[in-house]
Structures are given as C-alpha cells and as structure tokens.
Amino acid sequence: MQPKIIIHGGFFSESADTEEIRIAKRNALTNIVTEAHEYLQENSALKTVIYAVSLLEDCELFNAGLGSQIQSDGKIRMSAAIMDGFSKKFSGVVNIEEIKNPVFVAEKLMNYEDSVLSGAEAQSFARQHGFQYFNPETESRRRSYIDKLAESSRIGTVGCVALDSEGKLAVATSTGGKGFEVPGRVSDSATVAGNFGNDFAAISCTGVGEDIVSAALAAKIVTRVTDGLSLKDACDRSMNELKPYNGFAGVIGISADGDVYHTDSHPFMVWASYAGTLEVFS
C-alpha cells in the first residue's frame, strides 16, 4: 500500500487574511505535508496524524495550539481528538488551557479507559503527565480579541488523515475555537462529528462546529463509505445535506483503497496532500 496523507488548516478568510498570509499558509502547508509524508514512510498512520497536527499546532498561522482564538472572557481554550481506524479507539481533550500541543494530551489519553477529558480535569491530567505550562496567545490574536474579532475570521481548525503502508487509517483534529465564544462552548473537533475513522475511511472536518455536529458529518461520511459508497460520493452526499441550513463545513478524507478527497461548502478551505505527488490549495 502506498502511504498517503492529507492535511487542512481551516478556511481562508477573505476579510481577515491578506494575500501575504495566504501565501504564507500555502508555504506552511506545503512544508508540513512534505515533512509528515516523509515521517509516514517509517511510521504508522496513527503516529503520523499526531505528528502532523502537532506541526500545525506549532504554526501560529492556524487556529490551533499556538495562535488559538481568544474567547469572550479573554482566555484560550483548545480541543483536539485522535481516532485510530484500526483499533477504533477515540481520545480527546475539550476546552483545555495553557498547553502547547493539545493533540499530545489526546495521544496520552489513548492509553486510558476514560479517554475524553474536558476543562480543568483535562489540564490536571496533562500536568500530572509532564505537560508544562504554555501560553498559546500571540500578539495578532490579542489584537483580534481587542477588536472583538471579525465574524468571518472565527472559523478554523487543523487536521490530518493518513493511510500507512500496512493499509491502516488514522485521523487527528485540533482547534483553538471560533473566537469570542461563550466559555464552555464545545466544538466539533473533539467529537466523532468532526473527527472519525475506521477500517474503511477516515475524515477530519473544519468549519462551524455547530453545523458539523448537527450533521454528524465525519461519522456519517465514514458510515456511508463503510456501507459501500465511494469516498467522493459519501462526502458529496453528506455535504449536500448541509444546504437546507446553509451549513459551513469542509472535510478531508482518505479511504482504505487509497482514494484521497477534500471538499467544502463555502470555498475555500486551505489544504495540502501527498498521495504520490504533492498538491496544495491554490
């Protein structure tokens, strides 16, 4: 099986992102997907999606980890999830604070029966397992917070789906929230609506979390592939079901037979893939 990978960095905001930022995001995604693809050659899909999402979390251009959005009370709360398509294990953290890489805390939880933790308990678990204090706030996010954030700049997530040489699939997704939200709001990223995979397909979502949860989007797409639809048809049919309420979402996915696909309801999602050749959004 030829290893394949696709990543996303949320949506490009026409009102908030300049052409310079667009180019920077394109370059960052190119570098990250190339590095992650090289990593995938010698590592499992599961290890690779965690590695790739950690690189995305470390890049302040994206709304996850470093550079996460600031909520209405001035704090940053992040969420992340991982799912191993082979073992069917799902783990995640919801609204965790003062951590550098939420995806690494989610990885640690893969070894626990209680594998999804939220809030202060998630942070306490992280501290108990050696994750040190880290402030993910950047100057640009602080300026945006002071300006109360442009509505269109509040949509963002990062994610990765990988297929390894043994034919195993895995997916990881991470977000810094939508910005200026009510504290306690739960995004789709640490739920099966936004991050889901099995032996047949794996999907990571980005967009408006409430729309994605309403559609049970990732789980629905994977279920349809499991039931016999192609990855493209499963994605397209599920995305069409967002139209009655003008749902805002984008998805990336890989199927067990090696199909790689991405689509969005409101162009355009920023993405990059390496499936034999390098492709990046343009």
Q: Just list the catalytic residues.
A: 157
CB-based contacts of 8: which residues, under 8 Å, 6+ apart?
157, 158, 159, 160, 204, 206, 250, 252, 262, 269, 270, 271
Q: Which helix (H) or strand (E) holds 145?
A: helix 139-146
Q: Are 78 and 172 contacting, i.e. CB atoms less than 8 angstroms apart? A: no
CB-based contacts of 242: which residues, under 8 Å, 6+ apart?
211, 215, 217, 248, 249, 265
The packing angle between helices 102-109 and 45-57, to 10°, is 150
Give me the amino acid identity at 176.
G
Q: Are 266 and 12 contacting, i.e. CB atoms less than 8 angstroms apart? A: no
Decide: residue 80, CB within 10 A, 0-12 exposed, 13-18 middle, 19+ buried. Answer: buried
